[in-house]
Amino acid sequence: MTTSSPKPAAKKAAPAPAKKAAAKPAAEKPAAKKAEPKEPAAPTYREHEDFVPAFKAAKAAAKGNADLTQALQLLGHLSWKTPGGSVGWAAGTTKKVTDYAEDILVMPGQDIPEAMDTVLGVATKAAADKPQKDAVAVLSKVVKSHS
């Protein structure tokens, strides 16, 4: 024999409030406007078609040059931003990167193009040989064409 537990009494729904009469007849209402397409947000530096190949070439050329590698690491973080953005750090950004940025005076809130110029200047000075200098020059040209 099964016993069923008593079901709680159903609550009565409150009566719906009466709709107010429209102030204007329907014929006088303006026609609904079509939504105009919004312009897409500016692409990030990384989304520029030439950025990734130039960035990879610079990173490959930088092997063994810690100063250049560090500058390129910071540039990689900044490349996720758009030219109209400002410096800010994602939760996963390491203290090493943020400390380096502070050391070269790239600060939160700074305009991205200005920050990119600073990092590229440091990278240019850190490039020690012709392949590194050439790779940084190409990367710099790509970044500046996007700013």
The predicted-structure confidence for 52-86, as pLDDT tens digits, reads as follows: 999 999 999 999 999 999 999 999 999 999 998 99
Model confidence pLDDT, tens digit, residues 7-62 = 555 555 555 555 555 555 555 555 544 445 444 457 899 998 999 999 999 999 99
Distance CA 114, CA 43 (A): 17
- Phi and psi at residue 111, to the nearest 5°: -60, 140
What does residue 98 show for φ and ψ, rounded to 5 degrees? Answer: -65, -35
Task: Kindly report whether the global pTM for this prediction surpasses the value 0.85.
Answer: no
pLDDT in tens, 86-121: 999 988 899 999 999 999 999 999 999 999 999 999
- Look up residue 1 and give its two tokens: 């024999």
Burial of 138 (0-12, 13-18, 19+ CB in 10 A): middle
In the chain, where the domains are located: 52-146
